[in-house]
Structure 1
Amino acid sequence: MPRSRFSGSLSTPQVDVVIDMGNPFLNLTVDGFLKIGTVAAGRAAAEEAYHMVNKGNVSRHNLQLDELKKMCKEGAYWGTIAGVYVGTEYGVARIRGMNDWKSKMIGGALAGALVSAATNGNQDKMVVDAITGGAIATGIYVLNSLTW
């Protein structure tokens, strides 16, 4: 039975959303989608607001429809990419039995290739996106492992 919980604090910038889908794979995938999708939607809202104010074209109709459309599109796109990455990384870690930089790299490469295949299907672009996804995932793991 799916359930959710929302908690937060004004003193810390951390907001935790927990959705229990009954399966760790689904939990992590939905969590990644929601968190990154929300960040992307917020970024799109800030960018659209800046452009409207900069152009001097702030009307209620334009603000509501255009901004909402872009927010939804950006949130869904980046949320989907995050969900695919988190899901593939979890699957690779479960198959390998280890959650190390290699699992992150393989998960990032698979996610990059999957997203590229779904969006354009160009083989050269798929290889480049797989390399990029693996490099980004590995870099994030290395940076998170450093002690400052």
Structure 2
Amino acid sequence: MAHGGFLSVDLGHPFLNRTADGFLKVGTVGACKVAAEGTFHCLHKGDVSRHKVENALKKMCKEGAYWGSVAGVYVGVEYGVDRIRGHRDWKNAMIGGAVTGALVSAVNSNDRNHVVGNAITGAAIATAAHYLHHLT
């Protein structure tokens, strides 16, 4: 565990530590979400088979890696912006969210309007999360 109890890994550099920490934490949440949905689906239908379990595990890995990657990109970009600007404030979250939204969207779509819309959405969500985090 890295200093302060905040980071779960220590790769020797704050950028790498925060990026890996974001990947691991959010990736785990994504995988747990899929596990819960898969469990509910199997219990609801009363159908549990080896094939269904294997598919659920594959989906857990895929979703965990996807959401972990998104979080890792966001945390890494926000940290980089913080270092470049020399300030830790809501603008870093906004820029991190916008860049992450645009990158994730660009990977999945060639539609420019979709990419811009997701950049705006990412910026709004990250800025709101920043403000909510600092309310306490």
Asked if TM exceeds 0.5, the reply is yes
Which residue matches 1:56?
Answer: 46
Matched, 1:87 2:87: no
Matched, 1:23 2:23: no
- Structure 1 pair 130–41 and aligned structure 2 pair: CA distance change class (3 A): same
Please list every run of 5 or more consecutive structure 1 residues that lacks an aligned counterpart in the other structure: 7-14
- Quote the offset at 1:42 in angstroms: 0.6
Please give the alpha-carbon distance, in whole angstroms, between the structure 2 residues aligned to 1:109 and 1:118.
Answer: 14
Please give the alpha-carbon distance, in whole angstroms, between the structure 2 residues aligned to 1:48 and 1:64.
Answer: 8
Equivalent residue for 1:124, pick from 108, 113, 117: 113
What TM-score do the two structures reach when normalised by structure 1? Answer: 0.85
Structure whose residues are more often strand by fraction:
1
Please list every run of 5 or more consecutive structure 2 residues that lacks an aligned counterpart in the other structure: none
Structure whose residues are more often helix by fraction:
2
Aligned length: 134
Pairs within 5 Å for 1:31-70: 31-59=21-49, 61-70=50-59
RMSD: 1.7
Name the structure, 1 or 2, with higher relative contact order (CA <8 Å, separation 6+). 2
Please give the alpha-carbon distance, in whole angstroms, between the structure 2 residues aligned to 1:102 and 1:16.
Answer: 22
- Quote the offset at 1:17 in angstroms: 5.7
Please give the alpha-carbon distance, in whole angstroms, between the structure 2 residues aligned to 1:121 and 1:44.
Answer: 28
State the identity %.
Answer: 57
- What amino acid sits opposite 2:132 in the alignment? L
Please give the alpha-carbon distance, in whole angstroms, between the structure 2 residues aligned to 1:133 and 1:97.
Answer: 22
Please give the alpha-carbon distance, in whole angstroms, between the structure 2 residues aligned to 1:94 and 1:18.
Answer: 21
Q: After TM superposition, what 4+ stretches of structure 1 lie above 3 angstroms from structure 2?
A: none
What TM-score do the two structures reach when normalised by structure 2? Answer: 0.92
Which residue matches 2:88?
Answer: 99
